[in-house]
Structure 1
Amino acid sequence: MKILILGSSGFIGKSLIKDLPDSIGVSLRSNNWNERFKCADVIINLVGKAHDHKGMATQEDYYYANVALLKNIFEEYIKSKASLFIHISSLAAVEEYESIHPLDENAICYPISLYGISKRVAEEWLLNQALPEGKKLIIVRPPMVHGPGDKGNLGLLYSLISKGIPYPLASFTNSRSFISIGNFNFFIKQIIEKKEMLLSGIYHVADDESISTNDIITVIKTVTEKKVPNVSLPKFLINGLAKMGDFLPIPLNTKRLKKMTSSLLVSNKKIKNALGIQKLPFTAKEGLEITIKSFNQTK
């Protein structure tokens, strides 16, 4: 079985190539990239533009990377002999900041950012395409994926604690769904191996358990062996600093604060039931420990 991974230069793509023995990374920057489709059995699409925290990307930038290129890729899939197309979307296509109830695939989509909106537009376009007999389309929506090789917001928390800086947001309580790269790769492998058990459509993937930011801080302290106190600064003060960060080059702004302190839960029941998965390889805490230990080894 030949598996093509488009957009393989990123954190997730590099990890998938290591975990999928028959996979080949393909860049759309190469000449005749579509020639590779002739011998492919499975195509995994990771091509796209992620969040732009510097605020420099335009709506056209997101549309080109997340929609226009996808259309070209999917059209090549339809012409190829491949029977499975896995498109990696994002939870941002549904909700980006807060949900105290686990979001399932029937949740009303309410993307806010240019990134989230473009991911939803891409999903809608895919779902409206006619699939020839023998071909399947699986759209995967993960929350934040973390693991060795990628830091994101976890990197910011790690940087604070590893330097002995007290965590200032202990007054906020939350619960969020994440997915470790180990569990993400497991889902992808299960989709490929058991594709006959899945109907074309959208599937949410996430760790089985949610975890709070305060829990993450505890894991970081344990791994780094730092006895750093938590500081419960008044919420009004933190909110004020975050608003300043919207205009000044400081690590905290309103979007980052919301992602670090609000609750955002995801249900993975649909895909687990469809594939007969009882238990994921890693608990949320185990996956988090692997990620934080990788930060500790590369600092």
Structure 2
Amino acid sequence: MKILVTGATGFVGSALLLRLSLDPQHQVKAALRRDISNIPGGVTPVQVGGLCPETDWQPAVSGVNTIVHTAARAHVMNDTAGDPLAEYRRVNVVAVLNLARQAAAAGAGRFIFISSIKVNGEGTPLGRPYSADDAPAPIDPYGISKREAEDGLRQLAAETGMEVVIIRPPLVYGPGVKANFLSMMRWLSKGMPLPLGAIHNRRSLVALGNLVDLIVTCIEHPAAANETFLVSDGEDLSTTELLRRMGQMLGRPARLLPVSPWMLEAGAALLCKRTVLRRLCGSLQVDITKTRSRLSWSPPVSVDDALRATARHFLESSFR
């Protein structure tokens, strides 16, 4: 199997590349902007420049059976773009469809697109998880761009016969995680008191190893063709429970104050932090029944093992 991975130096792409490089049955290419120094042995680097609408992908897609597209414009904090949605569309829709068309023209049989649970929406009522077949309801520019890319890929599949597989992960964590999850570990490692000891929400997360395992399953599984899958660890956690368990893994028991949700809401409104509060206190659950049954797949990594590996990497790194 000849496979191309985009976003090969990113959080998901680099882990996937390492996993694929260990299987001698795979011939793997890595699409890169410039740097090839961190590519595993046995992987062929191909410099294609950035993910742009005009990128020439022919050197990368030539002779490839499957493309796994992990690259995207995401997590732009304090976005300075004059029109954020237009910029997300340029990278996450137009550039992606440019890649997919060139892949189909080169004879690729399958295109695996790493989308986002934000295509479904921003949150769920407690105990009513999203399913893969729910009507999309994205809210922010990132989620909207991912939904439009999904729609374009499905249309392209119908026109060309190239199979499309869509995977929508929630928050992905694991060794080397950054952004909010890294901030959480820093707070815990410093013993900071946090007013999050009485949060009874439920959120689905996915360990990096579990997401990579599902991607590898979708590379060849015949039942994955032209399907959309949700993915998680199969165990939903409250924010309070996540903080307590991660504190244990870090060797620094979480100092959590049982502040009532209505007081947190009042404080968030005062500080204009309602979005942050929603992520901390709201629920976002996903139902992976379809993923389990259609692909005979189960998450191979437990939550505790994944949290332990994440904490170990943090404690051994300079991110502290």
Query: TM-score normalised to the size of structure 2?
Result: 0.84
Give the Cα separation in 2 of the matches to 1:179 and 1:270: 16
Give the Cα separation in 2 of the matches to 1:77 and 1:128: 14
Residue pairs, 1:177-256, within 5 angstroms: 177-194=204-221, 196-246=222-272, 253-256=273-276
Structure 2 gaps, min length 5: 22-26, 33-47
Residue pair 1:47, 1:65 contacting (<8 A) in 2 also: no
Secondary structure of the structure 2 residue equivalent to 1:255: helix
What is the match of residue 44 of structure 2?
none
What is the match of residue 45 of structure 1?
69
- The structure-2 alpha-carbon separation of the partners of 1:136 and 1:227, relative to structure 1 and needing over 3 Å to count, comes to closer
Q: Deviations over 1:9-42 (max 9, x none)?
A: 2111111111112332203416743222112111
What is the match of residue 288 of structure 1?
307
Aligned-pair Cα RMSD in Å: 1.9
Secondary structure of the structure 1 residue equivalent to 2:29: strand
Partner of residue 270 from structure 1, selected from 290, 295, 300: 290
What is the match of residue 199 of structure 2?
172
| 1:86 to partner: Cα distance | 0.2
What is the match of residue 3 of structure 1?
3
Q: Does 1:29 align with 2:49?
A: yes
Q: Deviations over 1:174-229 (max 9, x none)?
A: 111111010001101111132x2233121111111111211211122212222443
- The structure-2 alpha-carbon separation of the partners of 1:73 and 1:99, relative to structure 1 and needing over 3 Å to count, comes to farther
Among the aligned pairs, what percent are the same residue? 27
| 1:95 to partner: Cα distance | 1.2
Partner of residue 257 from structure 1, selected from 277, 292, 300: 277
Deviates more, 1:31-40 or 1:71-80: 31-40
| 1:262 to partner: Cα distance | 1.0
| 1:109 to partner: Cα distance | 1.5
What is the match of residue 13 of structure 2?
13
Residue pair 1:210, 1:284 contacting (<8 A) in 2 also: no
One-letter code aligned to 1:26: A
One-letter code aligned to 1:86: I
Residue pair 2:109, 2:163 contacting (<8 A) in 1 also: yes
Structure 1 gaps, min length 5: 247-252
- The structure-2 alpha-carbon separation of the partners of 1:44 and 1:225, relative to structure 1 and needing over 3 Å to count, comes to same
Secondary structure of the structure 1 residue equivalent to 2:129: strand
| 1:267 to partner: Cα distance | 1.2
Equivalent residues, number: 290
Q: Deviations over 1:84-143 (max 9, x none)?
A: 11011100011123343121112121111111111111111222222434x311011111
Give the Cα separation in 2 of the matches to 1:64 and 1:149: 28
What is the match of residue 250 of structure 1?
none
What is the match of residue 73 of structure 1?
99
- The structure-2 alpha-carbon separation of the partners of 1:165 and 1:123, relative to structure 1 and needing over 3 Å to count, comes to same
